[in-house]
Amino acid sequence: MQGFRSVHSQEVAFRDLDAFGHVNNAVYLTYLENARVTYMREVLGVDSLSSLLVIVAGIQIDFRSRASLGEVLEIGSRVSRVGGKSFDLDHEIRGPGGRLVAEAHTVLVAFDYERDGAMEMPAAWRERIEEFEARSFAAA
């Protein structure tokens, strides 16, 4: 996918459909979650639940076209902002032939589950994101 170095493939299953035969809007949250975990495994080296130190603070999805049973969707993810305690992931979901299915924006907060609160972004995460995305996220 153009502009996305991290791409997760997701086949549409029967259980994903609504009464009208296309993917139910709520299922896209799971698709984005799968893509987010793929990004975190590939880029941040997350290899267990105990190292998945983020919490979702917000998601916005704009639907552009329907997805149907058996289609393989490509979900691109890229970091668009890195802050002191959070970062943003932008996503595109594309169907066969590159058809745009949805665009999404997710805000993730680095989270210390033992303290039950936000924490500073690990320096290693920032470095790995900048290296993977081939750009700096330093504050202006």
Could you read off the pLDDT of 43-93 as tens digits, one per residue? Answer: 999 998 888 999 999 999 999 999 999 999 999 999 999 999 999 999 999
**Exposed, middle or buried: residue 115 (CB in 10 Å: 0-12, 13-18, 19+)?**
exposed
pLDDT greater than 80 at residue 140? no
Mean pLDDT, the chain, rounded, equals 96
Share of the chain above pLDDT 90, in %: 94
pLDDT greater than 80 at residue 139? no
- The H-or-E segment that residue 63 falls in is strand 54-63
pLDDT greater than 90 at residue 8? yes
pLDDT at 126: 95
pLDDT at 49: 86
Range 26-49 burial, b when 16+ CB lie within 10 A, else e: ebbeebbeebbebbbebbbebeee
pLDDT band at 138 (very low <50, low <70, confident <90, very high): confident
What integer is the mean pLDDT of 98-121? 97
Comparing 23-27, 50-54, 114-118, which segment has the lowest mean pLDDT?
Answer: 50-54
**Single-letter code of the amino acid located at 124:** A
* Secondary structure E strands in 83-126: 86-94, 100-112, 117-118
